[in-house]
């Protein structure tokens, strides 16, 4: 297919983010592996590092993380129209599915079969996130210092319940103080 | 019309001040829902369950759900737009300047620190889901099989999600 990774069509942006949204249950970081797969591996619109950077930015402004990240990637590729196409794609499955659920399916939601399906999905979600992390770690966690930053961020959330925005801010400040000098030497 | 305006202002406010996505939105929303008398407590719990177990961002699902219950399809669209708008506007405003500075050494140094931190956050999300997800050998097996499949073949995650749903229905 003659697709241009530098300038995807608006329709492509819409459908890619619609797919990501439609197949992720849980939002936010759960979307990371799917979005990476579509946007980095399949479409090659952005690099591994950019993907992580955009997620950091999506997390750093208020609102819906996945939506913010989609907006940024859409904007990066096609300006404001691209941002809107990506954002509408991200919102479409939510709106359609929730409307259907609210209108017709609410009574069936507690059924054992549906609950069993969700139990299976939750397990798969953990596997997806862990494997995406494993693949990303090669480029983003390539020194002891950066590993310590990652582990520190993990523990700040899991053990200390620090707000994610503060963890991101601390990571950025530490990056600036630790890595800028080295960058100049290179 | 008043209902739509009330939904818009509430969800715009939530979108503007809720840092940290879905779960942060949840606490803001609870506050608004109680203040405006939109839902009873047990319905609020049901709504959270629905938002967490349907596709799409959780905050988005919550907005659509509350909007629909308050003012039908128009309400759903209004609330969804309102919750997404502040982040989108800020992101685009940010993007106007951001890409000009992205290659600068200082900015790259910041991101060298940010990237491991974000991966740490994502690992924390996996940990928190894992604590709920791994209830017996079935869930552990599903996760292990998924890991092996991802490591060996290029399978789209959607197939793994669908496959695990079927496995869940069969074996749980």
DSSP A90-132: HHHHHHHHHHHIIIIIGGGTT-HHHHHHHHHHHHHHHHHHHHH
Mean pLDDT check: name the lowest of A12-26, A37-51, A114-128. A114-128
pLDDT, residue A134, reads 85
Tally the domains of chain B: 2
On whether both B43 and B85 belong to a single domain, the answer is: yes
Q: A167 at the B interface (CB within 8 A)?
A: yes
Q: A5 at the B interface (CB within 8 A)?
A: no
pLDDT, residue B47, reads 74
pLDDT, residue B155, reads 80
On whether both B78 and B119 belong to a single domain, the answer is: no
pLDDT, residue A186, reads 45
Average pLDDT for residues B110-126, to the nearest whole number?
Answer: 86
pLDDT, residue A109, reads 67
Output the six-digit token pair for A81: 């129209």
Distance between CA atoms of residues B85 and B14, nearest Å: 10
pLDDT-derived band at B36, boundaries 50, 70, 90? confident
- Minimum-distance CB partner of B19 among A118, A123, A165: A165
Distance between CA atoms of residues B42 and A179, nearest Å: 50
pLDDT-derived band at B23, boundaries 50, 70, 90? low
Question: Over the stretch A96-145, which tens digit does the pLDDT of each residue have?
Answer: 988 988 888 767 767 888 888 888 888 888 888 888 888 778 777 888 99
Torsion of CA B75, B78, B80, B84, to 10 degrees: -160
The last residue of one of the domains, among B76, B100, B124, is B100
Average pLDDT for residues A37-63, to the nearest whole number?
Answer: 90
Contact at CB, B160 and A124, closer than 8 angstroms: yes
Q: Which pTM value belongs to this model?
A: 0.78
H or E segment to which residue B13 belongs: helix B2-17
- If DSSP codes are grouped into helix, strand and coil, which group holds residue B56? strand
Distance between CA atoms of residues B102 and B61, nearest Å: 33
pLDDT, residue B48, reads 73
The alpha carbon dihedral of A142, A146, A148, A154 has a sign of negative
On whether both B10 and B90 belong to a single domain, the answer is: yes
Output the six-digit token pair for A36: 């990476």
B9: domain range? Answer: 2-100
On whether both B140 and B91 belong to a single domain, the answer is: no
On whether both B19 and B70 belong to a single domain, the answer is: yes
pLDDT-derived band at A1, boundaries 50, 70, 90? very low
On whether both B117 and B62 belong to a single domain, the answer is: no
Residue boundaries of the structural domains of chain A? 10-109
Q: Which residues of A141-176 are buried (b: 16+ CB within 10 A; e: fewer)?
A: beeebbeebbebbbebbbeeeeebeebbebbbebbb
On whether both B144 and B120 belong to a single domain, the answer is: yes
pLDDT, residue A2, reads 52
Residue B153 pLDDT more than 80?
yes
Output the six-digit token pair for A27: 């939002």
Contact at CB, B90 and A63, closer than 8 angstroms: yes
Q: Do A118 and B168 meet the contact criterion of CB atoms below 8 Å apart?
A: yes
Question: Over the stretch B45-92, which tens digit does the pLDDT of each residue have?
Answer: 667 777 777 888 888 888 998 899 889 999 999 999 999 999 999 999
On whether both B81 and B117 belong to a single domain, the answer is: no
Contact at CB, B92 and A83, closer than 8 angstroms: yes
How far does B26 lie from chain A, in Å, by closest CA? 11
How far does B4 lie from chain A, in Å, by closest CA? 16
Closest CA to A43 of A74, A89, A69: A74
Output the six-digit token pair for A106: 């609410």
On whether both B90 and B116 belong to a single domain, the answer is: no
pLDDT, residue B20, reads 63
pLDDT-derived band at A68, boundaries 50, 70, 90? very high
pLDDT, residue B24, reads 65
Output the six-digit token pair for A7: 């300038």
The last residue of one of the domains, among B65, B100, B135, is B100
Q: B163 at the A interface (CB within 8 A)?
A: yes
Closest CA to B112 of A14, A171, A151: A171
On whether both B62 and B138 belong to a single domain, the answer is: no
Residue B137 pLDDT more than 90?
yes
On whether both B86 and B17 belong to a single domain, the answer is: yes
Question: Over the stretch A157-170, which tens digit does the pLDDT of each residue have?
Answer: 889 988 777 888 89
Distance between CA atoms of residues A112 and A118, nearest Å: 10
Average pLDDT for residues B112-128, to the nearest whole number?
Answer: 86
Closest CA to B118 of A76, A132, A125: A132
Contact at CB, A149 and B125, closer than 8 angstroms: no
Distance between CA atoms of residues A136 and B123, nearest Å: 12
The last residue of one of the domains, among B81, B100, B119, is B100
A:135-164 residues touching chain B, CB 8 A cutoff: 136-137, 140-141, 146-147, 149-158, 163-164
- If DSSP codes are grouped into helix, strand and coil, which group holds residue B172? coil
């Amino acid at each position: 297919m003659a697709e241009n990774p530098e300038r995807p069509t608006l329709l492509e942006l819409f459908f890619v983010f619609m797919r990501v949204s439609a197949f992720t249950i849980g939002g936010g970081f759960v979307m990371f592996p799917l979005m990476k797969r579509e946007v980095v591996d399949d479409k090659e619109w952005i690099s591994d590092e950019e993907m992580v950077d955009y997620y950091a930015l999506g997390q750093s402004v208020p609102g819906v993380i996945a939506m913010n990240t989609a907006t940024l990637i859409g904007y990066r590729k096609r300006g404001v129209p691209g941002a809107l196409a990506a954002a509408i794609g991200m919102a479409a499955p939510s709106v359609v599915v929730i409307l259907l659920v609210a209108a017709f399916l609410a009574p069936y939601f507690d059924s054992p079969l549906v609950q069993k399906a969700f139990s299976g999905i939750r397990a798969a979600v953990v596997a997806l996130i862990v494997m995406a992390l494993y693949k990303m770690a090669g480029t983003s966690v390539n020194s002891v210092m950066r590993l310590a930053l990652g582990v520190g961020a993990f523990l700040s959330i899991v053990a200390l319940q620090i707000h994610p925005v503060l963890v991101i801010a601390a990571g950025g400040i530490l990056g600036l103080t630790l890595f800028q000098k080295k960058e100049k030497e290179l | 019309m008043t209902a739509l305006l009330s939904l818009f202002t509430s969800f715009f406010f939530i979108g503007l001040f809720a840092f940290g996505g879905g779960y942060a939105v949840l606490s803001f929303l609870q506050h608004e829902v109680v203040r405006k008398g939109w839902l009873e407590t047990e319905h609020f719990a049901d709504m959270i369950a629905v938002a967490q177990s349907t596709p799409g961002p959780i905050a988005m699902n919550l907005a659509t759900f509350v909007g629909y219950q308050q003012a039908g399809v128009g309400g759903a669209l209004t609330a969804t737009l309102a919750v997404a708008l502040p982040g989108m506007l800020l992101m685009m405003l940010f993007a106007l300047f951001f890409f000009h500075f992205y290659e600068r050494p200082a900015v790259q140094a910041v991101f060298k620190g940010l990237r491991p931190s974000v991966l740490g956050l994502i690992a924390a999300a996996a940990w928190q889901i894992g604590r709920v997800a791994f209830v017996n050998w079935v869930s552990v097996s599903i996760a292990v099989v998924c890991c092996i499949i991802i490591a060996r073949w290029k399978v789209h995650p959607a197939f793994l999600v669908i496959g695990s749903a079927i496995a869940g229905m069969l074996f749980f």
